[in-house]
Amino acid sequence: MEAQPAQQPTSTTYTRPQQPADAYAATLPVETLTRIFELAKEGVQDPFDRQNMRWSFQEISCQWSIAVGKQRDYAVGYERQAEALGNALRSSGREDEVRSLALSQKLMGGSQGATVELLKLCSALKKLELIRVGRFYSAYGDEEALEAMSKLKEVQEVVFMGAPEALTLSRVLHAWPVLRSLRLSCRFRNETSMLDPMPSVALQHLDIVPDLDMIRELLLYIKDSDLPRSLTVRDYQGCFRRLLDPKVAEALLPLASRLHRFSAPDPWQPSPAFDHFISSMSSLRQLEIGYSGTQPLPDVDGGGTGHNLPPAAALRNLTSLQELVLRQTLFVQDAAQLAPTLVEILDAPPSSFKRIEVHLSLFYGSEGGEEARAEIAAKAEAAGIRLLIRRS
């Protein structure tokens, strides 16, 4: 891997094509092209895909290469790539310009000198990602690489899609003192008997899986803090999808009142516990739910609801709520209760409420979907609330 494919030696025989003078893109300012590139990569989660997209844009023409700018985010899948990138950064003197580094988890297995040297080289790193390769991961890890990671004291965002064996939650939380965003899409070995006092917390956003043991340990560290302000709970990567257990909502309840944003992109089981968790978010501004709906069952965890959108009365009490987002999931057998709940919310919305986003397919999970959509659109317009209906 080269440190920056867009930068070519002056003696190279290869030159990027110039944009034809009469091409429409040639008339656009660089700032516009840059914005187009930013929008194109906005929804791309995988760092390797983002990197490939950058390289593709850079190869279009000189104008696009300038618009994309210098590469500061890198994804490394193999030891030879780690070695090549390290050498290129060292020779160009650009070590301190690297802001984001994603490593394939397989690089953590065994003694990997080039990976360790690359981590040591990127001392100004702000974001670190460990990406799982394949559907299931094995618990393994190189202590030397983990030690190099823990010395990157400027890291503010960490993403672990799989965890090396030696990497405990305690070690993660103490390694990076200015950590602001933490995503843990994996189980961790717990060590609650070895807890140390939590250092000063800068953590603003948590993105976790429904691991009850991890949640309980995590709460021990942050119980006396007013952070995080943002929480995402998603199902395990690569698992068969299932409704999330209401016990997770009960375990997370101590965090509810401090949250400004909550996202549950994977659907939770409809239950009073989940409704209570949401209604306890007294400072909530943005709510995102992976919608699930079935025929109403009176014996669902003691409640009579068949969908996981909390009652309108509960949402109406969230006086700071500005935005509600309902995502499409695989668990929508019947959406008959969705439209009436949305209509009830729109009849008397919270004073700060501004926006609803709903996936189009949710309106066709029951009879009368088109009429329901029209009624909700009319209610939203009358209330001065923006309604966005997504088709993809």
Q: State yes or no: pLDDT of 150 exceeds 90.
A: no
Per-residue pLDDT of 300-358, as tens digits, reads 444 445 788 888 988 989 999 999 999 887 766 566 778 889 999 999 999 899 999 99
More confident residue, 332 or 371: 371
Q: Which two tokens stand for residue 128?
A: 């670190």
Could you tell me the CA-to-CA distances from 41 to 46, 47, 52, 89, 131 in Å, in that order? 10, 10, 10, 24, 18
Q: Cβ distance 380 to 348 under 8 Å?
A: no
Q: State yes or no: pLDDT of 367 exceeds 70.
A: no
Shortest CA distance to 314 belongs to which of 358, 292, 359, 344?
344
pTM value is: 0.81
* pLDDT, position 226: 81
Shortest CA distance to 336 belongs to which of 303, 301, 371?
371
* pLDDT, position 142: 64
CA within 13 Å, CB half, 301:
17
Distance (Å, whole) CA 26 – CA 20: 7
Eight-class DSSP state of 4: -
Q: Cβ distance 332 to 362 under 8 Å?
A: yes
Could you tell me the CA-to-CA distances from 101 to 76, 129, 157, 227 in Å, in that order? 8, 6, 11, 26
Q: State yes or no: pLDDT of 388 exceeds 50.
A: yes
More confident residue, 186 or 205: 205
Order of all β-strands in the sheet with 181-184: 73-76, 100-104, 127-131, 157-160, 181-184, 205-208, 230-233, 261-264, 286-290, 323-327, 355-359, 386-390
Q: Mean pLDDT over all residues of the chain?
A: 81
* pLDDT, position 12: 43
Lowest mean pLDDT among 37-51, 193-207, 273-287: 193-207
* pLDDT, position 139: 41
* pLDDT, position 261: 98
More confident residue, 239 or 285: 285
Beta bridge partners of 231: 206, 262
**Residue whose token pair is 């952070």:** 227
Q: State yes or no: pLDDT of 34 exceeds 70.
A: yes
Per-residue pLDDT of 202-212, as tens digits, reads 789 999 988 88
* pLDDT, position 71: 94
Per-residue pLDDT of 163-173, as tens digits, reads 655 567 777 77
Contacts of 9 (CB under 8 A, 6+ apart): none
Distance (Å, whole) CA 117 – CA 122: 9
Eight-class DSSP state of 41: H
The full set of domains in the chain, from first to last, is 1-69 (no CATH), 72-203 (3.80.10), 241-392 (3.80.10)
Q: How confident is the model at residue 96 (pLDDT cuts 50, 70, 90)?
A: very high
* pLDDT, position 135: 40
Average pLDDT of span 51-62: 91
* pLDDT, position 279: 94
Lowest mean pLDDT among 28-42, 221-235, 359-373: 359-373
Average pLDDT of span 56-74: 91
